[in-house]
Structure 1
Amino acid sequence: MFEVRPYPELSWSLSRHKTMLTCSRKYAYDYYISHNGWISSADPLAKQTYRLKKITNLEMHFGSVVHDLIYQTIQASLKNQPILSEQAFIDEIRRHLNRGFIESTKKEHLWQNRPKHYTMLHEIYYSQTGSLPEAKVKKITDRLHRTVSNFFSSKTFTDVRSKEYMEFVESETFRYMKTEEAKVYIVMDLVYKDLNRDKWVIVDWKTGKSSDEDRNQLALYALYLLQKHNIESLDDIIIRNEYLVDGTHVEHQLTDQDLVNVQHLYQISMEQMKLFLEDGSQNRPLPIDQFPMQDDPRVCARCNYQELCFPPY
């Protein structure tokens, strides 16, 4: 049974860690002030913060739509159901993007009341112009055909369609590992067993550029797989990044040192997170003014919480 708690459960993820490093005020809004903001009886600030938390931007919305459609396509293929053609896949992405634009410009009242179920684009919400920047629209338009074409010709989708050589495990499931201190959340795009090579394969679809953080993300995935499936050696795990914009894939063979590094990162990060707590037993945070604001205007310009940090009155 769902229980309303005054404070959220302490948890950890790489995205949470990154938010804390980027701006501790945003960290407070994301993980504390917005808590319970989806409940009708919540206080106005929690509702407002939760609503702002749900704002997305054009690049993130594009990536989310692509990931969702890839998941659906792989599921259909594994069940021997019809899958979309490349053109139908492109058309479906366009439909979702257009719907997001319409919801942002003409259905803000619906988003205000049900922010989880409607799209609000950052570019629309804070510009108040009712239009998207032409440069961003061109960027997404240029990526669209390449991304879809590269997915259909990708190493991973080729493996998926050759079902006799792979054993499907899980995909896009919100998983976590438990430590003594907190749940560590992990979202893996796809996991399967390559029967030809007798290897476990973890796939991460990328609709943007590679990042220095990718390796820690991959090490977390490997830790989870080792723990869940009692795999004896890291040598039995291959982690693959599929870069859909340029049509390349990179396979990584992690080392024990990679696992040590990410575990060390987790420990240091948790220590920092606990400094923002007034009561660790309840995960009750310090007052909001104890979470310093970011002082880089370029970071603030991309943030969802501008109206809280810089109110117009």
Structure 2
Amino acid sequence: MFDIKPFPTFSWSFSRYKTLASCARKYGYDYYFAHNGWLHHDVEPFHQYVYRLKKLQSMPLLFGQIVHHLIEQTLNEYMQTGTTATQAELVQRARGQLNTAYIDSTRYMEQWRYKPNRFHMMQEIYYDGQLDAALVQTYRERLPIVVTHFLQSETFQYITAKRGSLRIGEPEQFRSMKIDDIQVFVVMDFHYYDELAEQWVIIDWKTGGESDDDRQQLALYAYYIQQKYRVPLEKIAVYNEYLLTGKRKKYQFTATDMDNMLYTFRHSVLEMKKFQADILVNEPVDVEDFPQTVEEWHCRSCNFKELCRR
């Protein structure tokens, strides 16, 4: 039976680190006050409310999730059958999923309120009542572009050419390791071992632009592979595939990169522990003790802005 705990287990991930860096109040909502909000009984309505807001999906987030899922399906199908759907078929699949999210958001709001993990709710529709026409047009135009760039990417072309010599890791799986006795979660888009080149390859698909955080996020992935398989860093190649532009960027990490990543991890953990009222059970301080960001541009795209306004 699933063990219901009053407080979440403390862990670390790159997304958790980024959330705290952007806004401590959002961090509190995401990682503490939404806890147990999926339950229908024996839970305060406040936690259910926060959990519902956490499940909102903005158009950029939803688009990225759908494209990543589409890539995962395409790679699995190719490895199992040796065949690939056409660009038009993949675009149609993605449009179907976007349409489903729109229908859920406009017709099934009450069902979403009761089961927010079963139905989609688009953030823009929840807050504004509709999707901006320009936003819809932007992502309608982006979809065939990112699908085409995926099919034409060096990564996909190499996989289809070297299928028999690659050991493919399960994509998009939650993996974890211990650093300083803290559970660290790592979710890699795609990785494989190339027997001909005798190296591990990590791929991160991006549906948006480049970010200053990309290097440290990928350094964490390289550290995971290094620790799990006991291989030197020079045997690990890491790539960003930017699907909007078709650009590919390679990273070759050094021991200095690992030291920098571990420094970021340890400094972040210290910041996170400031918000624990009881470190043994990971009980948080009061919600008011999670300060709101002073950079209000973060608030415009935040799922929890309704709570902060109140």
In 2, Cα distance between equivalents of 1:134 and 1:236: 47
Q: How does 1:78-117 map to 2 (within 5 A)?
A: 78-80=79-81, 82-117=83-118
In 1, Cα distance between equivalents of 2:293 and 2:236: 39
Letter in 2 for 1:203: I
Q: How does 1:230-249 map to 2 (within 5 A)?
A: 230-231=230-231, 233-249=232-248
Q: In structure 2, what is the equivalent of residue 150 of structure 1? A: 149
Q: In structure 2, what is the equivalent of residue 161 of structure 1? A: 160
Deviations 1:88-126 (A, max 9, x none): 100111111111111111111111111112111111100
In 1, Cα distance between equivalents of 2:192 and 2:305: 42
Shift of 1:3: 0.5
Q: In structure 1, what is the equivalent of residue 71 of structure 2? A: 70
Query: Any idea what SS the aligned residue of 2:192 has?
Result: strand
Q: In structure 1, what is the equivalent of residue 229 of structure 2? A: 229
Shift of 1:82: 4.3
Q: In structure 2, what is the equivalent of residue 35 of structure 1? A: 35
1:174·1:185 contact (CA, 8 Å) conserved in 2?
Answer: yes
Q: In structure 2, what is the equivalent of residue 122 of structure 1? A: 123
1:199·1:236 contact (CA, 8 Å) conserved in 2?
Answer: yes
In 2, Cα distance between equivalents of 1:196 and 1:140: 39
Query: Any idea what SS the aligned residue of 1:293 has?
Result: coil
In 2, Cα distance between equivalents of 1:214 and 1:291: 27
Q: In structure 2, what is the equivalent of residue 177 of structure 1? A: 177
In 1, Cα distance between equivalents of 2:83 and 2:114: 36
In 2, Cα distance between equivalents of 1:204 and 1:159: 15
Q: In structure 1, what is the equivalent of residue 45 of structure 2? A: 44
Deviations 1:153-195 (A, max 9, x none): 1111112223123221231111111123421111001111123
Shift of 1:223: 0.8
Alignment of 1:308 with 2:290, yes or no, is no
Shift of 1:196: 2.8
- Distance verdict in 2 for CA 1:116–1:266, change over 3 Å: same
In 1, Cα distance between equivalents of 2:295 and 2:152: 41
Q: How does 1:250-289 map to 2 (within 5 A)?
A: 250-289=249-288
Query: Any idea what SS the aligned residue of 1:260 has?
Result: helix
In 2, Cα distance between equivalents of 1:15 and 1:56: 16
Deviations 1:132-161 (A, max 9, x none): 112211221221111011111111111222
In 1, Cα distance between equivalents of 2:147 and 2:256: 35
Shift of 1:197: 1.7
User: Bigger CA drift: 51-60 or 111-120?
Assistant: 111-120
Query: Any idea what SS the aligned residue of 1:205 has?
Result: strand
Query: Any idea what SS the aligned residue of 2:39 has?
Result: coil
1:77·1:160 contact (CA, 8 Å) conserved in 2?
Answer: no
Letter in 2 for 1:50: Y
Q: In structure 2, what is the equivalent of residue 204 of structure 1? A: 204
Which contiguous aligned blocks of 4+ residues in structure 1 show a shift greater than 4 angstroms?
Answer: none
In 1, Cα distance between equivalents of 2:82 and 2:164: 16
Query: Any idea what SS the aligned residue of 2:174 has?
Result: strand
Q: In structure 2, what is the equivalent of residue 24 of structure 1? A: 24
Q: In structure 2, what is the equivalent of residue 298 of structure 1? A: 297
In 1, Cα distance between equivalents of 2:295 and 2:234: 43
Q: In structure 1, what is the equivalent of residue 188 of structure 2? A: 188
**Structure 2: runs of 5+ lacking an equivalent:** none
Letter in 2 for 1:57: S
- Distance verdict in 2 for CA 1:153–1:202, change over 3 Å: same
RMSD: 1.2
Letter in 2 for 1:261: N
Letter in 2 for 1:278: A
Identity %: 39
Query: Any idea what SS the aligned residue of 2:307 has?
Result: helix
Shift of 1:257: 0.6
Q: In structure 1, what is the equivalent of residue 54 of structure 2? A: 53
1:172·1:187 contact (CA, 8 Å) conserved in 2?
Answer: yes
Letter in 2 for 1:20: L
1:189·1:205 contact (CA, 8 Å) conserved in 2?
Answer: yes
**Structure 1: runs of 5+ lacking an equivalent:** none
- Distance verdict in 2 for CA 1:263–1:43, change over 3 Å: same
Q: In structure 1, what is the equivalent of residue 6 of structure 2? A: 6
Task: Name the TM-score, length of structure 2 as normaliser.
Answer: 0.96
